[in-house]
Chain A
Amino acid sequence: MTTTDSAFPGPVDYLDQRTGLGSAIKTFARKIFPDHWSFLLGEIALYSFVVLLISGVFLAMFFVPSMNETVYHGAWASMQGVTMSEAFKSTLDLSFEVRGGLLMRQIHHWAALIFMAAIVTHMMRVFFTGAFRKPREVNWVVGFVLMILGLAAGFSGYSLPDDVLSGNGLRIADGVTLSLPIIGSYMSYFIFGGQFPGTQLIPRLFTVHVLLVPGLILALVGLHLFFVVLHKHTQYPGSGRTDKNVVGFPLFPIYVAKAGGFFFIVFGVIALMAALFTINPVWDYGPFDPSPVSAGAQPDWYMLFLEGALRLTPGQLEVVIAGFTIPLNVIIPAMIVPGLLFTALAAYPFIEAYATGDKREHHVLDRPRNAPVRTASGVALLTTFLVLILAGSNDIIATQFQLSINDITSVFRVLLFVGPAVAFWITKRACLALQRKDRELVLHGHETGSIVRFASGEYIEVHKPLNEHERWLRVGYEAHRPIAIAPAEDSRGVRRKGYRRDRLRQRVSQFFYEDRVEPVTPTELAAAQSHGAHDAIAQAPDALPQVESQPVGGGQHLVTPNAQVTPDERNL
């Protein structure tokens, strides 16, 4: 084959013959992606990770990961003659003597905070829209692991400058490690290469921070994105969008420009923050020394929930059994509570699939109101984290608002249990109310503000029916019902096997779907329009069809409208 009769110019032809580039271009260049602002959250996470890689490579050129002691004689006057580790000294040097180094350090730290924030909000978007449903459960787990790795990357990097603030963070990490039953003291030696603080930790953290964790993150980001391409992106509900299609714009040129441009916007915003806002001024804190500590010390925001859990747990929980100390006042907040919260988060898609019994693929997202228990569960989980995060700042709250730290802590102890329950209840009720508002709007249309007087003297307001696109957005969802199970005994009164398991599943399913609002059906709409007769003014009000007297649907009737639904169905 010669190149002259090919559609490809020389270099592309060369590559295609060796890589099959042509097929890849044909498959991917015009691949369709849906458009929505909330899809950018994941992009922010990806792009801030790229910014972390770029700025991290820069910093690694100048940082010395060593705990050997040295005396500072650099540019920063207030640290002259202070004994410090080489890690701390090189941090000062790369901030003050490498031109642009301080900017890169600030970019790196801000990008890390934004990276975690973007991961968390992206996860919230995926959760509240049900994007984790089949076939994306595995990718949810991949994303979950990425979040955990993000925490590991953040904590290991935060500790590298070997300043007194992060040093006390490591001291806390050591205290938590020591609390582990049986192996605690050995795990502490494992991490620190002996007693705290030792001389091994910074080099070890450096390897974890620049090689191990980012390597894993890169690999899993690759897997995460591979799944996105394989599954094709989810889309928000709307006219023309189904579980069988994907509606949007082609990768080339629209997303090359939009997503490519967005990288520069994300980087630009991080650069602006780095230019204007000081972050982690280690030159004010000073090098690590086991003795000093500053009041009002806070970890980076993504570690605050752990800090808050540690602050809230009362000390009485520490017990001694047969001479062995079990510090439950540390184990519970630092391991059991986060363990439970994170397990619940990772397992949620599987729990919901179990309750739903739904085996179909879902590519159209849910509006959060149309999944009240899911939305409420998510808000409850977030409330738990929020209470813990606030508790992690209880000293700041106390000084800013002139309150007693003891009172604040006691209030948070109660709120940790009450807050999520109240949040769950309010959110679920709000979702159901929004669904009823949707029903109301579909059945009665928009208020127009024009009042009509009948010959009989009655006044009514004319309502304008929704157009089919407006209507579809509000009726095109599915209200899951609790799963039906076979009865405990067959026709001859013999108890069947597996009934108890089925019953448990039904209970879970009832928790999820017992309270629900069904979408308006065409029959209901027809009935509502004929009884209201607002648009057919000629019809006399007393000639209403019989159907009117039935409690069909209106938002204010808290009933499932369709009277002929399956017998197992329960009303609100």
Chain B
Amino acid sequence: MSAHDSSTHDGSKDVVVHTSDTLPERFSNPGHPEHHLRRSDQDPRANKRAELQVVVLFLISVIGTIGFLVAYFTVTPAGTPSSIRNSNLLLGLGLFFGLMGIGLAAVHWAKSLMNDHEKSEERHELRSPEPVRAQAVEVIQEGVADSAIGRRGILKGAMVSALALFPLSIAVPLIGNIGGNWNVSTLKHTMWKKGTRLTIDPTGRPVKASDLTIGSVFHIIPDGLDKTADPMEEKAKAIVLLIRLDPRDLKIAPDREGWSYDGIIAYSKICTHVGCPVALYEQQTHHLLCPCHQSTFDVADGAKVVFGPAKRPLPQLPITVDSEGYLVAQSDFHEPVGPSFWERLK
């Protein structure tokens, strides 16, 4: 089929190039090149020198290990950065010399002192010879005949069923438990509800509208977060960025009238791409940038995506002030926060 099976790599006869008529189609392998002696093979002094070098390298290793032990017992890391750095440096250097000495000594020994005559070994094709293959088929056939499986359909079926089913006893309890309560609908809700105060992350101090000047940004968690059963999980969904803009800069969508308070606006801090906290705010452009994948959201315009791999705007938390002047949520977010998933709109 293919046009290249005529040539082989092997062949030992030398080709005389200049004779005409009988030139072969291809060159053939000229055979092993001549062996060249090293200096240490010819000059006893060079040989002796190489041996000495190997000895010195091994000694460097011994000194390195001793140095490591000395450093271990004498240099105490006392909690300060410099003492920890010194301890790490000296132990590391001791280990380095201890290892490198052995390594270089062994390689130098092999390269300069050990016999360096190349040897050649035959390879054998991996394929089993045809008679062996025939025998293999024969023994399998014998075994199949001995087992008497060939004629017994119902036995085969029963065996396959039993083998296929038994892993269920391991898989079912594993799958049943591994996902916790498997209640994935909790992904769609956060702990924000009507009247929950906005508090500073991480101190939990409630925020008044007057605390924010134009252009300032607060990282917000819901009041009572640390009293919940799973604060980490709640926090991972509920974190909010609170920003105050000049109300004239703010473009408010008709269905979000009254969600902000005097230019103070709250967005989910979880990126709608794959969920990193969106934490870089640029005051001049009102842009929020996710440091993980650079999705950029326009805070002044409903946190719509202006660049990057996210599709959806950051969900907005409707806020107002309570009777004491503290900022509170009007409700939970009106859509699931964070990365997209299959049933998020269902």
Contacts and interface: CB of A to CB of B under 8 A. Distances in A.
Contacts of B319: none
B155 interface: no
Given A135-B126, A274-B92, A568-B3, A522 B232 contact: no
A520 B25 CA distance: 10
Contact of A480 (B4, B96, B235): B4
Contacts of A266: 103
A448 to B, nearest CB: 19
A215 interface: no
Interface in B44-90: 72, 76-80, 84, 87-89
B341 A179 contact: yes
Nearest to A294: B291
Contacts of A189: 179-180, 182, 184
Interface stretch (A307-315, A487-495, A551-559): A307-315
A243 B106 contact: no
A518 B280 CA distance: 59
B236 interface: yes
Interface SS, B side: loop
Contacts of A22: none
Given A267-B99, A275-B96, A329-B311, A247 B182 contact: no
Interface in A224-263: 230-232, 238-250, 253-254, 257-258, 260-263
B96 A268 contact: yes
A77 B78 CA distance: 11
A276 B88 CA distance: 8
Contacts of A357: 1-2
A471 B88 contact: no
Contact of A172 (B27, B92, B98, B274): B274
B218 to A, nearest CB: 12
B338 interface: yes
B233 interface: yes
Interface stretch (A6-14, A114-122, A195-203): A195-203
A291 B309 contact: no
A195 B107 contact: no
Contact of B343 (A253, A297, A324): A324
Interface in B259-317: 269, 271, 273-277, 279-280, 291-295, 305, 307-312
A324 B219 contact: no
Interface string A400-429: 000001100100000000000000000000
Interface stretch (A97-105, A146-154, A335-343, A432-440): A97-105
Contact of A257 (B89, B114, B280): B114
B96 to A, nearest CB: 4
Contacts of B204: none
A323 interface: yes
A257 B110 contact: yes
Interface in B18-35: 18, 20, 23-27, 29-33
Interface residues of B, number: 112
A266 B99 CA distance: 9
A168 B277 contact: yes
A178 B276 CA distance: 13
A324 B1 contact: no
Interface string B3-22: 11001111000110110100
Interface string A464-479: 0000110110011010
A483 to B, nearest CB: 5
Interface in B220-268: 221, 230, 232-233, 235-237, 239
Given A171-B274, A239-B32, A275 B107 contact: no
Contact of A311 (B237, B275, B294): B294
Given A102-B84, A248-B119, A194 B27 contact: no
Closest 8 A/B residue pairs (Cβ): A275-B92, A175-B274, A261-B106, A194-B180, A264-B103, A240-B32, A75-B79, A265-B103
Interface of B: 1-4, 7-10, 14-15, 17-18, 20, 23-27, 29-33, 72, 76-80, 84, 87-89, 91-93, 95-100, 102-107, 109-111, 114-116, 118-123, 125-126, 175, 178-182, 184, 186-187, 201-202, 219, 221, 230, 232-233, 235-237, 239, 269, 271, 273-277, 279-280, 291-295, 305, 307-312, 338-346
20 contacts: A75-B79, A103-B92, A103-B95, A195-B233, A197-B232, A244-B10, A247-B121, A268-B96, A268-B97, A275-B89, A275-B93, A275-B96, A290-B235, A325-B343, A330-B273, A356-B2, A469-B33, A480-B4, A525-B17, A526-B23
